[in-house]
Amino acid sequence: MTAESQQVAAGADSAATLADTGHPGHAHHGDGKLKLAVGAVGVVFGDIGTSPLYAFRETFAGHHSIDPDRLHIYGVLSLVFWSMMLVVTFKYVLTIMKADNKGEGGSLALLALISRSSGGARWTWPIVLLGVFATALFYGDSMITPAMSVLSATEGLSYVHAGFQPYIVPIALAILIGLFALQSHGTARVGALFGPIMLCYFLMLAVLGVLHIVDHPSIILATINPINALRFFYLDGFTAFIALGAVVLAVTGAEALYADMGHFGRKPIGLSWLCFVLPALMLNYMGQGAMVIEADMGARLGIIQDPFFLMMPDAWRIPVVLLAILATIIASQAVISGAFSLTQQAIQLGFMPRLRVDHTSASAQGQIYIPVVNWGLMVMVILLVLFFGSSSNLAAAYGIAVTGAMFIDTCLMCVVLFALWKWPAWKALSLLAVFFVVDIAYFGANLIKVPDGGWVPLAIGLSIFTLLTTWSRGRKLMQQQMADGAMPIPVFVKSAANSATRVPGTAVFMTSSADGVPHALLHNLKHNKVLHERIILLTIKIADVPFVREVDHCALDDLGQGFHRLVLNYGFMQPVDVPAALKRVTGCGGEFKMLETSFFLSRQTLIAAKSPGMPIWREKLFAWMLRNSESAMEYFRLPTNRVVELGSQVAI
C-alpha cells in the first residue's frame, strides 16, 4: 500500500464506527409506494428521460454515422432495449440498489459501507481510490448533462420557426443561467411541480411513439429480439462497436437511480422504472425507428438528422418543444442538486475542505445550496455550450464519464458480493462477468470519442480526483503532525488546573482529535494565563453511516477539575449545528448559555516544506485549499461574537 493510498483510505474510514447507529427514517418509510413512485419520476429519471432527444439520432447521424436501413435500425433498437434491461434493470434496480448504506445510495455511500464492513483492511485502499475517482467523474457528468440536455431541447425551437436558429445557443444559455441563479432559493416549491410535469413528458414520449408504431408494428418484436443486436455485431463488427458509444446515451442517468435511493427507496424507484418510465422510453425509441423505416430511402437521411422533433404532428410542435425544455430543466436541476449532496458527503467524509452550505428548507435537511459549487458548475456549463455549440458536438464528450462511473460501480460491487454478502464464487462471477462485459464494451466504445471531445470529462475528473486525494492526504498528515508530542489530558489537568487562575464561564475548545490537549487550549493558557470554570474539549465525529440516532449523538466524559470531553457524532448526511447540540447536553454542570460560553478555535497556517509527506506542488495545493476553506465558526454555526481564533504554523 502506497503512502498516499493509506491516507486516502484512512480518510474514508477515519470516522468512528457506531455499531448500533441507524437513520431517523427516510421519507419512504411512512409514505405510500405509489406516491413515492410518482415523486421518483419527477426527480430520478430526468436524465435518462431526456435521452430520446438525442440518443437515437447520434447513433446514426453522429460523428461515426451509420446507414439508417432496416438492418441497422433493428440492431440499434435491440441494443437500446437490452442495454436498458442489463444496465438499468438488472444491474442497478435489481442488484446494486440492494447494497444501501442505512438506506442511502451513491458511490460515496457505498464506499463508506465497504470501508466500515471491511474494518480498514489493507485491500480496501484501491477500492477507496476507485470510489473517489467515481465521485470525481460525477462532477464532470454534472457539468455536461445540463449543457447537453437543455441545448438539445432548445434546438427543437428551430422546428417551431426557422427564425429561432441563430438564437438557440443564447436561449439555452439564458435558461441555464436562470436555473443556476434560482438555486439559492431552494427547490421545494419548484420540486412540487416536477412529478406532474415529468409524468406528462413521459406520457408524451409514449404517445408520440405509438403514433408511428401502428404504421410498423413488427418493430416491437424486432426490438426485443436479441438476435438483431447480435446480427448487427456479426455483420458489421467494428461499426457496431463504435455505435455503442452513442447507444450508451440512452442509459445515461442510470446511476441516478442509486444515488437518489435515500429519498424515495428502492422499491418505489423500481416500480416507477418497470411500470412507467421503461415502457415510455422504449415506445418512443421504437416510434422513431418505425418512422425512419416507413420513410423512403431518400427521406431517411433527412429524418435521421433529428427524428425526435420530426416525429411529432405539426399541431403538437409548440407544446412538445416546451415540454421537452421543461423536462431538460428538471433533469439539470436533479444533477445540480445531486452535486450539492455529493459535495456535502465528501466534506463530511474528509475528502473536501469545509465549504459554505446553506440549508434552503427548515423541514427537509437534504435540501441544501453550496454557492461555490453552484457558480463553478455554471461557469463550466456556459463554457461547454460556447465551446461545442450544438448538442451533436457535445455528444462526443457525453458518455465517457457515465460509463467510467458505471464500470467503477461494478468494481465496487465485486467487494459487496464477495466480502459483504458472501456469495458463492460461481454465482457472483457469473453475474459480474455479464456486467463487466457490458461496461467494458461501453467504456471502450466511448474511449474512441476522446479526440472529439471525450477528453473534457476525463480532464475534469482527473483534476477533481487530484483535489480530493490531495485534501484527504494533506489533512491526515497535518493531524499526525499536530498529534506528535501532544500532552496527555490527565497530565495537563493535574498540572494546570490548580496552578492557573480560574475565571467564570464556559470555554469550548474545538479539536479534531479526541486525544491530547488542543493547541488552542495551550495557547490560551500560555498567553492569557487563565482557565474557565468549565472547559469542554469538543470533537465532532462524522460516522460512515448517513444518519446517527439521537441516543448515539452525544458522548460525554468527566475528566475532573471542571474539564469535560464531549464527542458529538453525526452521519455524513446530517448538518452540524454545535449550539443546537449543546442545548441538549446534560450532566456537565448545568445548561449551556451562549452569552456565557466562549468558543476557542485553532487556525493552522501550512508551511510547504520539502519532506517525504507530499510533493511540494501538492503541499502548495493543499495550503491553498486550506486557506480558502470555510471558517469553522460558520461551518459549525457558532455565534460570531463568542468565537476566539488562535493561529499556529504547521509544516508537513
CATH 1.20.1740.10 maps onto the chain at 3-12+34-475
**For residues 197-224, average pLDDT:** 94
In the prediction, which pLDDT does 175 show?
Answer: 95
**For residues 172-181, average pLDDT:** 94
Integer Cα distance of 646 and 600 in angstroms: 7
- Per-residue pLDDT tens digits for 285-316: 999 999 999 887 768 888 898 899 999 888 88
Integer Cα distance of 459 and 461 in angstroms: 5
pLDDT at 215 exceeding the cut of 80: yes
pTM over 0.75: yes
Mean pLDDT computed over every residue of the chain: 84
Interhelix angle 3-13/455-483, rounded to 10 degrees, is 80
**For residues 207-228, average pLDDT:** 95
**For residues 340-365, average pLDDT:** 79
* pLDDT tier for residue 611 given thresholds of 50, 70 and 90: low
* pLDDT tier for residue 586 given thresholds of 50, 70 and 90: confident
Q: Which residue has the cell 447540540?
A: 581
* pLDDT tier for residue 188 given thresholds of 50, 70 and 90: low
pLDDT at 360 exceeding the cut of 80: no
Q: For residue 127, give every residue at least 6 positions away whose Cβ sits within 8 Å of its Cβ, in sequence order, or none.
A: 111, 114, 411, 412, 415
In the prediction, which pLDDT does 471 show?
Answer: 92
In the prediction, which pLDDT does 435 show?
Answer: 94
Q: What Rg do the C-alpha atoms of the chain give, in angstroms? A: 27
> Whose CA is closest to 140, among 469, 439, 399?
399
In the prediction, which pLDDT does 35 show?
Answer: 78
- Residue 49's SS3 state is helix
In the prediction, which pLDDT does 220 show?
Answer: 95
> Whose CA is closest to 280, among 86, 35, 41, 59?
41
pLDDT at 270 exceeding the cut of 80: yes
pLDDT at 529 exceeding the cut of 70: yes
Integer Cα distance of 377 and 312 in angstroms: 33
Q: Residue 565 belongs to what H/E stretch?
A: strand 563-571
Integer Cα distance of 624 and 622 in angstroms: 5
**For residues 559-574, average pLDDT:** 86
Residue 619 contacts residue 580 (beta carbons within 8 Å) = no
**For residues 422-427, average pLDDT:** 90
Integer Cα distance of 578 and 594 in angstroms: 11
Q: For residue 393, give every residue at least 6 positions away whose Cβ sits within 8 Å of its Cβ, in sequence order, or none.
A: 453
Residue 356 contacts residue 362 (beta carbons within 8 Å) = no
Integer Cα distance of 62 and 89 in angstroms: 27
- Dmax (CA) of the chain: 97
> Whose CA is closest to 389, among 80, 166, 77?
166
Range of lowest pLDDT (42-51, 258-267, 320-329, 339-348): 258-267
**Which set of grid coordinates corresponds to residue 549?**
440516532
pLDDT at 459 exceeding the cut of 60: yes
**For residues 182-205, average pLDDT:** 80
**For residues 508-525, average pLDDT:** 83
Range of lowest pLDDT (8-22, 388-402, 508-522): 8-22
Angle at CA 550, nearest 5°, toward 549 and 554? 110
pLDDT at 39 exceeding the cut of 90: no
**Which set of grid coordinates corresponds to residue 63?**
460523428
In the prediction, which pLDDT does 170 show?
Answer: 95
| Residue 246: φ, ψ to 5° | -95, -35
- Per-residue pLDDT tens digits for 200-212: 999 999 999 999 9
Give the range with max mean pLDDT: 42-56, 207-221, 443-457: 207-221
pLDDT at 85 exceeding the cut of 90: yes
500 Rama class: left (phi>0) / alpha (psi -120 to 50) / beta: beta
In 485-548 the beta strands, taken as DSSP E runs, fall at 501-510, 530-543
In the prediction, which pLDDT does 415 show?
Answer: 87
Higher pLDDT, 489 or 514: 489
pLDDT at 588 exceeding the cut of 90: no
Integer Cα distance of 239 and 465 in angstroms: 33
In the prediction, which pLDDT does 518 show?
Answer: 85
Integer Cα distance of 629 and 351 in angstroms: 12
**For residues 160-186, average pLDDT:** 90
Integer Cα distance of 262 and 269 in angstroms: 10
In the prediction, which pLDDT does 362 show?
Answer: 55
> Whose CA is closest to 647, among 482, 532, 496, 471?
482
Integer Cα distance of 650 and 641 in angstroms: 27
Q: What percent of the chain has pLDDT over 70?
A: 90
In the prediction, which pLDDT does 111 show?
Answer: 80
Q: What is the CATH number of domain 3-12+34-475?
A: 1.20.1740.10
* pLDDT tier for residue 26 given thresholds of 50, 70 and 90: very low
**For residues 642-646, average pLDDT:** 85
Count of other CB atoms within 10 angstroms of residue 640: 9
Query: Cα(first)–Cα(last) distance of the chain, in Å?
Result: 20
DSSP structure string for 351-395: SS-----EE--SS-TT-EE-HHHHHHHHHHHHHHHHHH-SHHHHT
Tell me the residue length of the chain.
652
Identity at 459, one-letter amino acid code: A
Give the range with max mean pLDDT: 89-103, 456-470, 529-543: 456-470
**For residues 617-635, average pLDDT:** 87
